[in-house]
Amino acid sequence: MFSQVYEPKGYEFTWLPAAELGGGLAEHLDERTRIVWLETPTNPLLNVIDIRAAADAAHAAGAMVVVDNTFATPYLQRPLELGADIVVHSTTKYLGGHSDVVGGFAATNDPTVAERLQFLQKSLGAVPGPFDCWLVLRGIKTLAVRMRQHCENAHVVALRLAHHPRVEQVLYPGLPTHPGHEIAARQMRDFGGMISFLVESEDEAVNLVAQTKIFQLAESLGGAESLIEHPARMTHASTADAPFAAPKNLIRLSVGLESAEDLVDDLEAALVRSTASAGA
Ligand SMILES: Cc1ncc(COP(=O)(O)O)c(C=O)c1O
């Protein structure tokens, strides 16, 4: 969106790694900076950004802050209370919660921004249909209970993967070893249902995502059913040449609402099968 739609129109972007957005952001801002756009936890690397620190630095430079809160949801993280000016969500994910709707929304507590967004929405026509709105509203009724179960299941899966000999590294903010753990513990109620992990090679990653039986091989995330995918070839293939490209040996999980033990068994069996088929 930024590089292929807005850059050709004359907008300029500077891409920063997550670590620099929380601390050290000020030195990248000047009087021309209008917006600091961030996402936390990030897709697909689960980096965590200190929203309050980013908002303080952005506001000191006269810029506004937009936070993509899709991974966390409003149940786990409330960026407006941490200083953000606008929060955006893909309602396709946890808010809808059942992988049966495509949508999004922006929230703000600034009346001037709200009025401008409303005008743009009316003028440009980016308006969701009534049935899509109904599906999202129905999904939101169970958001809290679903998120609690997503978090509980993800925690079990992350811990088991972290101790698995064929897993190089687990990226989950709920693990105390995660570099963003402390910030996440401060600004989130819990750590969410998304986990990424690194295996030995791209071949092993491609092999593994085809071996699970409960985790379905699919893009998207945040639904009741668990999903597994290979970001470098699927969700993030279009950013393969970008500075923030997904590592080729990375696997992303959207941990669903099934039994956590079944999910762990499924991954462990798939790790055995993918090892066997790589050796064959
Ligand atoms: C963090 C995040 N923001 C925004 C989007 C865009 O969502 P949609 O597919 O509803 O346009 C996605 C989709 O994967 C996402 O993961």
Domains of the chain: 2-140 (3.40.640.10), 143-279 (3.90.1150.10)
On whether the CB atoms of residues 268 and 253 are closer than 8 A, the answer is no
Any ligand 1 atom below 6 A from CB of 70: yes
Reported as a single tens digit per residue, the pLDDT across 65-121 is: 999 999 999 999 999 999 999 999 999 999 999 999 999 999 999 999 999 999 999
- CA–centroid distance, residue 101 to ligand 1 (Å): 12
* Sign of the dihedral defined by the CA atoms of residues 144, 145, 148, 154, in that order: negative
Any ligand 1 atom below 6 A from CB of 42: no
Candidate from 43, 89, 253 with most ligand 1 atoms within 8 A of CB, to mutate: 43
On whether the CB atoms of residues 255 and 197 are closer than 8 A, the answer is no
- CA–centroid distance, residue 163 to ligand 1 (Å): 30
pTM of the model: 0.96
How much is the pLDDT for 279?
A: 60
Q: Which residue has the tokens 């309602």?
A: 91
104-108, strands of its sheet edge to edge: 35-39, 64-68, 86-90, 104-108
Q: What is the C-alpha separation between 187 and 15, in angstroms, rounded?
A: 23
Flag whether pLDDT at 276 surpasses 80: no
Q: What is the C-alpha separation between 184 and 171, in angstroms, rounded?
A: 13
Question: Could you tell me where the DSSP H helices lie in 61-129?
Answer: 73-76, 111-124
Reported as a single tens digit per residue, the pLDDT across 211-262 is: 999 999 999 999 999 999 999 999 999 888 888 899 999 999 999 999 999 9
How much is the pLDDT for 169?
A: 98
How much is the pLDDT for 278?
A: 65
